[in-house]
């Protein structure tokens, strides 16, 4: 029997046997010999498994993963397309986009370690009537130098100004419609400017995503699917799904499914969000032949995705619709700065980093000592990574569909359940390894790991593969986050009791392997959540 896979059951069994035998033998204290032997074997199996798999520990213990491994051997790796982040060019990168980015990256990473061929797509809002409005605004308020220096902020400023003007001038709305129609008709003069805006925005976003340790395989957008829109209309007509409203718009009647009528074309012939999503689905079916497609979008879009999936079922069949999944999430409140609402991702990250730096400088003596040992650039990088950790972990602590309020004042707490705590626990384990001058080896005496704290730490380490599998099944990072909090607290307890430095070599070697395994498990968990594990704080 594999003790590692059945860790909880084995531990409960061992504890039960221990109690029964203690009662039978009327022992007043301490575990019996049988339990000691069994627990030592359990500790040995767990630690050797971690040593063997290292940065892949936790990836290969589920039945699901074994099935995927068989597929990989046959070169039939299943493909998942994950649509996440997806900000709109010229509009604020709001908290909803941040949540989509965080959770989408986790969903991408956990599919990768489960053996999928993963295609992460950033589906930009780069098309539609609002883009016509932006273009009109740029003609009036645009500045090429500002555009090249900070395209996201400048286009946003332009968009705000033209929206304010449109409130008092109804003619601007018609100008925006006319401009967008020229885009859909392929007018090269307007498309040239659109391409410039899009390319500069993508370059700017990519540099910001780098801070979050995020890379997309594809930057796509609503603009990329124009050739598929007529095909969607033709297929809707072929299936007899289209009807016309009195004002000339085309709709798909979904009322029998309690989903109302879905508009797929305006009276003026321009496309809508739903139309372009259907066209995008058709394009991705042809490009990727995916086994699963996941849309990481807020719960407020649930109605849209119900219409999209039902229309897709009517168009392409249930076998396609069954592959589609909406991974929704709740709202986030309280992410603001002294300047007001933090609408730009870069601003959110900068504020978080600044708070970490302020926290570091509260202990001036220690901060000055650190400056003597490390460069300011290194400290700046660590502050940035801690700031990112604080944001990501606070977001992933609760279930995806829960609304929550972001608390800036709690993000630097190294004692509470925060991203800083997890990074601190990892850095402490790295510190033990650096200072102990004891090599990590599996050729050690496992019977020396007899303290309760050692057993409880191994017990937590052994649970990691099960928690990874549970997170994969639900696509809920909170399962993994809350496990890592327990692991970090157990590490702290063990570290307070079990010294490595200056102990006899045999005992030091056993404890070194224990703490190394804990560090490796924590590192694997942090990486799976999208964080860069920090080695020194």
- Closest Cα partner for 391 from 199, 29, 103? 103
Q: What is the pLDDT of residue 184?
A: 82
- Whole-number percent of the chain with pLDDT over 90: 63
* Pick from 285, 282, 281: nearest CA to 295: 281
Instruction: Transcribe 317-383 into DSSP letters.
Output: -HHHHTTEEEE----EE--EETTEE--SHHHHHHHHHHHHHHHHTTSHHHHHHHHHHS-HHHHHHHH
The answer to whether residue 193 scores a pLDDT higher than 80 is yes
Q: Which sequence positions are flagged as catalytic?
A: 91, 94, 97
pLDDT at 6 over 80: no
Interval 404-408 mean pLDDT: 80
What string of H, E and C letters represents the secondary structure of 386-419? Answer: HHHHHHHHHHHCCCCCCCEECCHHHCCCCCCCCH
Please give the Cα distance from 72 to 65 (Å, whole number).
10
Mean pLDDT across the chain: 87
136: its two tokens: 């009109």
Token duo for residue 324: 């589609």
Would you say residue 256 has pLDDT above 70? yes
Distance from C-alpha of 399 to C-alpha of 406, rounded to nearest angstrom: 14
Question: Is residue 458 within 8 Å of residue 48, measured between CB atoms?
Answer: no
Once rounded to an integer, what is the mean pLDDT over residues 405-426? 82
What secondary structure does DSSP assign to 140-196, as a single string?
A: HH--HHHHHH-HHHHHHHHHHHHHHHHHH-THHHHHHHHHHHHHHTT-HHHHHHHHH
Task: Enter the DSSP assignment of 30.
Answer: S
Contact between residue 523 and residue 451 where contact means Cβ atoms under 8 Å apart: no
Residue of 271 and 190 predicted with greater confidence: 190
Put simply, whether the predicted model's pTM sits higher than 0.85 gets the answer yes
Q: What is the pLDDT of residues 385-395, one digit of tens each?
A: 999 999 999 99
Is the distance from CB of 205 to CB of 122 less than 8 angstroms? yes
**315 has pLDDT over 90:** yes
Following CA atoms 105, 111, 113, 114 in sequence, which dihedral angle do they give, to the nearest 10 degrees? 160
The CA-based diameter of the chain, rounded to the nearest angstrom, is 93
Q: Give 511's pLDDT tier (boundaries 50, 70, 90).
A: very high
Check pLDDT > 70 for residue 234.
yes
Residue 405: Cβ-neighbour burial (10 angstroms; 0-12, 13-18, 19+): exposed
More confident: 507 or 60: 507
Does the structure show a pLDDT above 80 at 198? yes
What pLDDT, on the 0 to 100 scale, is given for residue 335?
64
Average pLDDT value for residue range 296-306? 95
**Predicted confidence (pLDDT) at residue 25 exceeds the cutoff of 50:** no
Q: What is the mean pLDDT of residues 53-70?
A: 67
Beta bridge partners of 219: 122
pLDDT of residue 272: 84
Token pair in block for residue 23: 């009662």
Highest mean pLDDT among 16-20, 87-91, 271-275, 422-426: 422-426
Mean per-residue pLDDT, 484-513: 95
Residues composing the chain:
537
Compute the Cα dihedral for 251, 254, 260, 264 and give only its sign.
negative
478 has pLDDT over 60: yes
The predicted pLDDT at position 30 comes to: 45
Nearest to 356 by CA among 310, 410, 302, 425: 410
Most confident of 68-82, 285-299, 337-351: 285-299
Q: Residue 386: which of 535, 516, 490 has the closest Cα? A: 535
Span 98-128, pLDDT tens digits: 899 999 999 999 999 999 999 999 999 888 7
State the pLDDT at residue 407.
Answer: 77
What is the rounded distance in angstroms from the CA atom of residue 234 to the CA atom of residue 238? Answer: 6
Residues 150-177: pLDDT tens digits? Answer: 898 899 899 989 999 999 998 999 999 9
């Amino acid at each position: 029997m594999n003790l590692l896979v059945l860790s909880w059951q084995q531990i409960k069994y061992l504890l039960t046997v221990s109690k029964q035998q203690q009662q039978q033998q009327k022992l007043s204290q301490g575990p019996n010999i049988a339990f000691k032997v069994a627990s030592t074997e359990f500790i040995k199996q767990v630690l050797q498994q971690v040593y063997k798999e290292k940065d892949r520990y936790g990836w290969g213990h589920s039945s699901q993963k074994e099935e995927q491994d068989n597929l990989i051997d046959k070169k039939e790796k299943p493909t998942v397309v994950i649509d996440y982040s997806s900000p709109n060019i010229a509009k604020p990168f709001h908290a909803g986009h941040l949540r989509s980015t965080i959770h989408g990256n986790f969903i991408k990473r956990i599919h990768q370690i489960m053996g999928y061929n993963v295609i992460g797509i950033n589906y930009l809002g780069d098309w539609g009537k609002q883009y016509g409005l932006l273009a009109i605004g740029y003609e009036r308020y645009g500045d090429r130098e500002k555009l090249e220096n900070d395209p996201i902020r400048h286009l946003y400023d332009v968009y705000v100004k033209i929206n304010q003007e449109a409130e008092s001038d109804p003619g601007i709305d018609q100008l925006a419609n006319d401009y967008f129609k020229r885009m859909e008709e392929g007018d090269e003069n307007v498309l040239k400017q659109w391409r410039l805006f899009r390319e500069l925005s993508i370059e700017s976003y990519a540099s910001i995503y780098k801070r979050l340790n995020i890379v997309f395989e594809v930057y796509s957008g609503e603009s990329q699917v124009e050739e598929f829109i007529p095909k969607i209309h033709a297929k809707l007509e072929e299936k007899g799904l289209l009807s016309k409203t009195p004002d000339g718009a085309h709709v798909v009647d979904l009322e029998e499914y309690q989903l109302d009528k879905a508009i797929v074309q305006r009276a003026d012939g321009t496309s809508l969000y739903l139309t372009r999503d259907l066209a995008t689905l058709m394009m991705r079916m042809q490009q990727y032949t995916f086994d699963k497609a996941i849309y990481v979008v807020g719960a407020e879009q649930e109605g849209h995705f119900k219409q999209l999936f039902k229309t897709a079922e009517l168009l392409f069949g249930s076998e396609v619709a069954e592959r589609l999944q909406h991974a929704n999430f709740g709202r986030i409140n309280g992410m603001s700065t002294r300047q007001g609402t933090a609408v730009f991702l870069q601003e959110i990250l900068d504020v978080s980093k600044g708070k970490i730096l302020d926290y570091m400088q509260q202990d001036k003596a220690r901060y000055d000592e650190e400056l003597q040992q490390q460069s300011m650039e290194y400290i700046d990088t660590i502050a940035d990574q801690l700031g990112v950790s604080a944001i990501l972990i606070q977001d992933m602590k609760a279930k995806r569909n829960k609304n929550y309020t972001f608390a800036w004042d709690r993000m630097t707490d190294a004692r509470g359940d925060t991203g800083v705590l997890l990074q601190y626990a990892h850095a402490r384990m790295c510190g033990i390894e650096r200072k102990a001058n004891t090599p990590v080896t599996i050729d050690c005496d496992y019977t020396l790991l007899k303290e309760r704290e050692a057993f409880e730490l191994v017990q937590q380490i052994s649970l990691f593969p099960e928690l990874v599998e549970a997170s994969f099944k639900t696509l809920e990072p909170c399962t993994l986050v809350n496990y890592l909090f327990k692991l970090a607290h157990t590490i702290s307890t063990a570290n307070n009791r079990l010294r490595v430095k200056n102990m006899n070599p045999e005992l030091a070697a056993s404890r070194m392997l224990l703490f190394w395994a804990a560090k490796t498990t924590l590192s694997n968990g942090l990486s799976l959540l999208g964080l860069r594990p920090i080695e020194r704080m």
